[in-house]
């Protein structure tokens, strides 16, 4: 006898998110093919313009991936072999690889176990004359990010962050935001993609050149830099243009679900901390919590048909420095991603929160 072990409540809700979109996907692909435009042409330009309008930004530079977008931003800021870039000790490997590919040296800073991002007060101790940029991953609430931006501004160091779709008419000075646009992200594209969002003319111009092998944005085959191929596909841009009007509603829905989770988990116990979905509001990362009962919680959720995951962040402790970054080490051992996506039903949030609370109630009873 075999049993169906497919979760009823999935982490990202991918199947439900793309149900009914077949015609839109085919239309986007056929539109680009019939126009004989496949890379970095009119649909990409229209999407960039529409995205700047939606976010209240000056520039949006479409590119092929989130990792590539981070590298573009670092290149545009002039990062090179003599430079250092501050990176959270608990972050995706892609951030570290982007810094190394830019030729700079990553300088690690520990993270808070209360929100998963560095504390603003710790930035001064890891920056110096060689610091070219501070790189922030997807962790940290809007309030935490604001404090980090203020600290970086005082230090005179620009920030590159994996950020979210929040409209920011008064954008933080010196901050370049990378907005993920892949299939697992908020809009849900049909291929890997991202955008660099900035109000800095020089950063935008640099990103536009570096994404196309260092080529001048206006004059073909005139190359100012050694760049690489990080161009956005036309069919991807065409599909994202169709999805963009849903951005505000999807963002609102994710915030509502996060608030519901937070209220439901509030009484789960002192051993559980809601780290939040971060500014990306992305289904990719789910709602991240810290719990000393991670294995027990995962097992009980799985028994009820709920998918969960350990965030794929390796702390600096796995890079040969086991005692230098206790916050990162603890999050590696206790962080857990719970389902969070725009299609998640409120009653599913309540079920998940109740299951987590049961585990913590059992721990309190044994004390």
Average pLDDT rounded to a whole number, residues 265-272: 71
Per-residue pLDDT tens digits for 49-104: 999 999 989 999 999 999 999 999 999 999 999 999 999 999 888 899 999 999 99
Per-residue pLDDT tens digits for 274-333: 887 766 666 677 899 999 999 999 999 999 999 999 988 865 545 555 578 999 999 999
Classify domain 16-245 at the CATH topology level. Answer: 3.40.640
Task: Count Cα atoms within 13 angstroms, Cβ side, for 184.
Answer: 11
Please state whether beta strands 194-198 and 175-180 pair in parallel, antiparallel, or not at all (unpaired).
antiparallel
CATH (residue range 247-366): 3.90.1150.10
**Percent residues over pLDDT 90 in the chain:** 61
Supply the pLDDT for residue 6. 72
Q: Model confidence at 365, in pLDDT bands (50, 70, 90)?
A: low
- Is residue 248 predicted with pLDDT exceeding 70? yes
Average pLDDT rounded to a whole number, residues 121-137: 96
Per-residue pLDDT tens digits for 178-234: 999 999 888 889 989 999 999 999 999 999 999 999 998 888 889 899 999 999 999
What is the chain's mean pLDDT, rounded?
88
Please state the φ and ψ torsions of residue 288, each to the nearest 5 degrees.
-95, 130
Supply the pLDDT for residue 167. 56
Common-topology check for domains 16-245 and 247-366 = no
Dist. CA 240–CA 45, nearest whole Å:
12
DSSP string computed for 154-165: HHT--EEEE---
Average pLDDT rounded to a whole number, residues 247-258: 90
Tell me the domain boundaries of the chain: 16-245, 247-366
């Amino acid at each position: 006898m075999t049993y169906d072990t497919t979760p009823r409540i999935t982490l990202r809700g991918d199947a439900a998110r793309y149900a009914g979109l077949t015609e839109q996907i085919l239309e986007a692909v056929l539109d680009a093919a019939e126009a004989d435009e496949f890379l970095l042409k009119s649909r990409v330009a229209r999407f960039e313009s529409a995205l700047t309008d939606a976010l209240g930004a000056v520039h949006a530079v479409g590119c092929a991936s989130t990792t590539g977008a981070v590298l573009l931003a670092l290149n545009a800021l002039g990062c090179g072999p003599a430079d250092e870039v501050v990176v959270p000790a608990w972050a995706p490997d892609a951030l570290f690889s982007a810094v190394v590919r830019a030729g700079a040296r990553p300088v690690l800073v520990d993270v808070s176990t209360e929100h998963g991002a560095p504390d603003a007060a710790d930035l001064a101790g890891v920056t110096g004359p060689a610091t070219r940029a501070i790189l922030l991953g997807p962790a940290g609430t809007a309030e935490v990010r604001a404090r980090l931006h203020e600290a970086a501004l005082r230090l005179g160091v620009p920030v590159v962050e994996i950020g979210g779709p929040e409209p920011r008419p008064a954008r933080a000075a010196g901050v370049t935001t990378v907005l993920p646009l892949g299939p697992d992200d908020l809009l849900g594209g049909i291929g890997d993609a991202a955008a660099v969002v900035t109000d800095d003319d020089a950063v935008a111009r640099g990103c536009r050149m570096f994404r196309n092998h260092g080529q001048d944005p206006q004059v073909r085959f005139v190359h100012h830099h050694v760049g690489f191929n990080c161009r956005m596909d036309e069919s991807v841009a065409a599909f994202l243009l169709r999805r963009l009007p849903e951005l505000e509603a999807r963002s609102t829905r994710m915030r509502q679900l996060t608030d519901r989770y937070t209220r439901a988990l509030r009484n789960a116990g002192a051993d559980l901390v809601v780290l939040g979905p971060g500014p990306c509001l992305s289904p990719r990362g789910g709602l991240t919590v810290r719990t000393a009962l991670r294995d027990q919680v995962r097992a009980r959720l799985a028994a009820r048909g709920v998918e969960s995951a350990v965030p794929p962040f390796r702390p600096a402790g796995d890079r040969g420095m086991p005692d230098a970054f206790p916050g990162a080490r603890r999050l590696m051992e206790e962080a857990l991603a719970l389902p969070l996506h725009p299609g998640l039903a409120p009653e599913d949030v309540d079920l998940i929160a109740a299951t987590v609370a049961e585990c913590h109630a059992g721990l309190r009873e044994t004390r």
